[in-house]
Structure 1
Amino acid sequence: MKNFIRKWSEISLVKRILAGLIIGIILALVVPQASWISIFGSLFVGALKAVAPILVLFLVINAIASHKTGQQTNMKMIIFLYAIGTFSAGVIAVIASFIFPVSLTLQTGADDVTPPGGIVEVLQTLLFNIVDNPVNALMNANYIGILAWAIVLGIVLKSIAADTTKTALANISDAITTIVKWVIELAPIGILGLVFDAIASNGLSALTEYGQLLILLLGCMFFIALVVNPLIVFIFTRENPYPMVLQTLRESAITAFFTRSSAANIPVNLNLCKKMDLDEDTYSISIPLGATINMAGAAVTISVLTLAAAHTLGIEVDLWTAIILSVLSAVSAAGASGVAGGSLLLIPLAASLFGISNDVAMQVVAVGFIIGVLQDSCETALNSSSDVLFTATAEKAKKRKQNHVA
């Protein structure tokens, strides 16, 4: 058994995940009634969600408390890249919706959810998340609140903590990181359970009616992942972006696709950043921050579904309104993590730009839930993998600038 575990561990994690994916598909097709298999997926996602908040808290506290004066991080550039990426996604989605207009067969079924009343409410929710009780923030995985408390505690401890305290923080951070590695090693079994549950429970029959809408949504996301993001990386690094792009898609997007949670994918991204030998002082903050504000996939969903509703109702959309929609979808997407229900519940907010009633907008939300099996998975994969991509881009750009000055 020890030899088997050792040999299994020596195989690339990506290959093991792909093996789990294939086995999960086969089992879902052969024995779909074996529902107990899906428990492996639930346990894996549960373990990731359990360890992620405490990991983020201690990593950020340790990174700031142990930060040496004069030591540079790339947070300003990373936040700038997050903003460019999310806004670009909104623009691409708007352009694609004009070129390939989609009409919807509106249905009911989203009456039990409540959208935010406006952009002010979205921003207000974010502000209240910042001042959330730290215990409550940890219990509810409120990463904005966790980040706020971690930054404040890190700044205070940097000034007043003794070296022994900082060493203890580093040891706790390393211990939690080790636990995360153990959880990530279970990814192949977790993916097996997740893909089994997805295919055995939902299948793809529910998606056929909305195939055109789904193709438009996924087409935009793939275009951003394989064209727009590489272009942004090239502009800042002047290097071939695709090796790094494909690595982040392979080692971050695959797990994010099946967990359908940026928060659950934080440990995976932190592990990938370490593997890529990035600066821990930077990525320990940029990755959890990206999981809350870097939302290119959400910007695509908001823009495409809103314009699909407008097209269905025969509403003419002028250039300036389209530009405003791009900005609004980017800002709203950044606040999606603070709104129960995620990006879909921000559609009524964007739809209000065109005078679309809340009743109709909530029918569009219902359509989003129907296609969510693939839409939400791809959205999360794009959001989460670009967190690592832009963090690595900022570091490469910094090194390029330093070499140019030298």
Structure 2
Amino acid sequence: MTKLLKQWNRLSLVKRIIIGLITGIILAILIPDIARPIGIFGSLFVGSLKAVAPILVLFLVMSAISQHKSGQKTNMKSIIFLYLIGTFLAGLTAVVASFLFPVSLVLGSGVENVSPPGGVTEVLKTLLMNIVDNPITALANANYIGILVWAVLLGLALKNAQEATKSMISNFSDALSQIVKWVISLAPLGIMGLVIDTIVTSGIESLINYGQLILLLVGSMIFVALVINPIIVFIYIRQNPYPLVFKCLKDSGITAFFTRSSAANIPVNMNLCEKLGLDKDTYSVSIPLGATINMAGAAITISVLTLSAVHTLGIQVDIGTAFILSVLSAVSACGASGVAGGSLLLIPLACSMFGIPNDVAMQVVGVGFVIGVVQDSCETALNSSTDVLLTAISEFKEWRKEGKKIIIPKK
């Protein structure tokens, strides 16, 4: 048994995750009733990540800012610009794809017990209210905008504190990071549980009727991940972008695919940034921020499902309106929650632009929930992996100016 455990630990995390994935699929298909209880491991894994992520973000950001030396350079302006332009380009890609490959929906009954935002104003109001949220409430509800604001304020207030105080905060940050590493080491078991729960509960058959829509959504996300993002990377670092792109997809995208939560994947992204040798002062802020506003996958979901409803209802859309939809989907996506299914509730905002009634728009949301097993998983994988990707290239650009060699670690 000891030898077996040693051999298991020698395997890379990705290989262990793949083994857990395959094992979960086999168990869910062959012995679903017996395997069903194993699904609890998936809930425990995601729950553990969600539990540690808020307080980790608070201490990481607070520690980074409190110990930041005046005049020390960070790349936050560049990263925020990349987040916004990346989200917009994703929305534009989805609009173009929807025009090239229009999809019709089968709309049925409405969705109950779901309250979408009333407009963009309401989304912005919610964001502003999250900023002034009580810190304890923000931690309890995983309100990352509120956590970030309090972390920044506390960090600034502690800049003139004694070194012993700063050291204590840094030690707490390191301890929480270690806890995250322990949780991530259990990812294969957790992902096996998630796969079993998904297949046993929803069934693979439920996705067949929506195959064309799923292909359009996933195809748009793959295009952004493997074409749009690499172009952005090349513009910034002037070398082959794919080693970095695949590194982010492998180390961040895979776990995000199964957790289906950008917030829960924050600790994973922090760990990847450390492996890439990025500046902790920057990524400790940019990664939590990215989980809130860098929503390329959400922009694609909003655009594709909205234009599918438009096509189904026979509404004519001109180029100008389509461009405005790209902007609206990007803005709306920035207000999407960092939890599973967060982007779907923003679809009625985009639908209202075309005069589509709210009851019809909510039926489109219902379709989104049906295909959420695939849609939300791919969306989160794109969102989360892009957080690291854009943070990295912003810093790598500075490395290139300084003549430093950019090396992407393979492990």
Does TM, normalized by the shorter one, top 0.5? Answer: yes
Q: How does 1:6-21 map to 2 (within 5 A)?
A: 6-21=6-21
> How big is the shift at 1:149?
0.3
Partner of 2:139: 138
Partner of 1:175: 175
Structure 1 counterpart SS, 2:353: helix
Structure 2 counterpart SS, 1:397: helix
Q: How does 1:204-243 map to 2 (within 5 A)?
A: 204-243=204-243
Would you say 1:293 and 2:289 are equivalent positions?
Answer: no
Give CA-to-partner distance per residue, 1:111-167, whole Å, 9 cap, x none.
321110100000000000000000000000000000000000001101x31011011
Partner of 1:199: 199
Give distance in 2, aligned partners of 1:263 and 1:67: 25
Partner of 2:327: 327
> How big is the shift at 1:338?
7.6
> How big is the shift at 1:208?
1.4
Give distance in 2, aligned partners of 1:219 and 1:353: 25
Structure 2 counterpart SS, 1:220: helix
Q: Given that residues 294 and 334 in structure 1 are in contact (C-alpha distance below 8 angstroms), is that contact kept between their aligned partners in structure 2?
A: yes
> How big is the shift at 1:94?
0.3
Change (3 A) 1:186 1:340: closer
Partner of 1:385: 385
Letter of the 2:373 counterpart: V
Using structure 1 for the length normalisation, give the TM-score: 0.97
Give CA-to-partner distance per residue, 1:247-304, whole Å, 9 cap, x none.
1111111110111001110111111111111111111111110000000000000000
Q: Given that residues 41 and 190 in structure 1 are in contact (C-alpha distance below 8 angstroms), is that contact kept between their aligned partners in structure 2?
A: yes
Would you say 1:62 and 2:63 are equivalent positions?
Answer: yes
Give CA-to-partner distance per residue, 1:95-118, whole Å, 9 cap, x none.
000111111110124132111010
Give distance in 2, aligned partners of 1:340 and 1:129: 19
Structure 1 counterpart SS, 2:165: helix
Give distance in 1, aligned partners of 2:210 and 2:338: 28
> How big is the shift at 1:399?
1.1
Q: Given that residues 129 and 338 in structure 1 are in contact (C-alpha distance below 8 angstroms), is that contact kept between their aligned partners in structure 2?
A: no
* Aligned residues with identical type, % of pairs: 68
Structure 2 counterpart SS, 1:403: coil
Change (3 A) 1:176 1:338: closer
Give distance in 1, aligned partners of 2:224 and 2:358: 30
Gaps of 5+ in 2: 405-411
Give CA-to-partner distance per residue, 1:377-403, whole Å, 9 cap, x none.
000000001001111111111111233
Partner of 1:190: 190
Gaps of 5+ in 1: none
Q: How does 1:1-400 map to 2 (within 5 A)?
A: 1-34=1-34, 35-158=36-159, 160-337=160-337, 342-400=342-400
Letter of the 2:94 counterpart: A
Give the superposed CA RMSD.
1.4
Give CA-to-partner distance per residue, 1:207-248, whole Å, 9 cap, x none.
111111111011000000111001110011111110010011
Using structure 2 for the length normalisation, give the TM-score: 0.96
> How big is the shift at 1:10?
2.2
Question: May I ask how many residue pairs the two structures share in their alignment?
Answer: 403
Q: Given that residues 341 and 376 in structure 2 are in contact (C-alpha distance below 8 angstroms), is that contact kept between their aligned partners in structure 1?
A: no
Give distance in 2, aligned partners of 1:82 and 1:3: 46
Give distance in 2, aligned partners of 1:186 and 1:5: 13
Give distance in 2, aligned partners of 1:115 and 1:199: 28
